Amino acid sequence: MRPVKNIIFDFGNVLFDLDLPSIERQFRLLFNGQYDAIRERLRRDRIFERYETGGISTQEFVDVLRFSADPPLEAKQVTDAWNSIFIDMPRRRFDMLLRLRQQYRVFLLSNINELHADWIDDYMQRTHGLPDFLSRYFDGVYYSHLVRLRKPDPDIYEYALADAEMAPEETIFFDDMEANVDAAARVGIRAFLHPQGQEIIDAVDKVLKMN
């Protein structure tokens, strides 16, 4: 087995703790009895996937959600509900990333959108005093809305591998979604499922000891 040279992390519920059901809770309140019908229409139109891959702008995304309600919502109601998933990224995980970068190349590969990316940038500055979070802690960052690809599409893994000149057999990947892990494994990456609620530091140390 070839030695590990590269480590790729998913973001949400791997490095950054999330409350994913919060979006549904918040929009169920905002849309009231219309929620189920609106959700089905948005899914049918692939609004969320299109936003995550840069297919529609933030303004278009917010307007779709605003005007799905009757009467229409305020833009701030939409963005506050959308960003309600974020909990925290503990300081110990920043320290882990710096420690890993002393020996490995470290990357971020995330299905994300502009609103969430902007919220995280603001959080890093406001909470941790880090205006340069991405460049300080990662050798490369692959956000779905910027590369216009999303997991588990194998093309996003192939894109990251080619762009960063990573050999898949020298690369390990941590993600909290089984479909994303399976897709990464199919392109040759040594991929590991990270269950929600477990500490990523412990998982990384365990995997590196075995590899």
Taking only the tens place, the pLDDT of each residue in 44-102 is 999 999 999 999 999 999 999 999 998 999 999 999 999 999 999 999 999 999 999 99
At residue 120, the pLDDT reads: 98
Q: Is residue 3's pLDDT more than 80?
A: yes
Q: What is the CA radius of gyration of the chain?
A: 18
Tell me what the pLDDT averaged over the chain comes to.
96
**Hunting for tokens 């479909």 — which residue is that?**
179
Q: How far apart are CA 123 and CA 190, in angstroms?
A: 31
CA distances (Å), 163 to each of 111, 139, 166, in order? 17, 11, 8
Amino acid making up residue 131? P
Check: CATH 3.40.50.80 for 6-16+89-210?
no
Structure tokens at 169: 């057999």
pLDDT in tens, 155-197: 999 999 999 999 999 999 999 999 999 999 999 999 999 998 8
Domain boundaries, the chain: 6-16+89-210, 21-85
Q: Which residues contact 194 (CB under 8 A, 6 or more apart)?
A: 10, 13, 14, 174, 175, 176, 200, 203
Q: How far is Cα 191 from Cα 184, in angstroms, rounded to an integer? A: 6
* Residue count (the chain): 211
Of 113, 123, 101, whose CA–CA distance to 17 is shortest?
123
The owner of tokens 């692939």 is: 46
CA atoms within 13 A on the CB side of 105: 15
* CA 151 to each of CA 46, 85, 127: distance values in angstroms, whole numbers, following the listed order: 15, 19, 29
Contacts 24+ apart (CB under 8 A), 175-180: 175/10, 175/14, 175/151, 176/10, 176/12, 176/13, 176/14, 177/10, 177/151, 177/152, 179/151, 179/152, 180/10, 180/151, 180/152
Pairing of strands 140-143, 105-110: parallel
Q: What pLDDT, on a 0 to 100 scale, did the predictor assign at position 196?
A: 83
Amino acid identity, position 139: D
Q: Is the pTM of this model over 0.85?
A: yes
pLDDT given at position 210: 85
Q: What is the CATH number of domain 21-85?
A: 1.10.150
pLDDT more than 70, % of the chain: 100
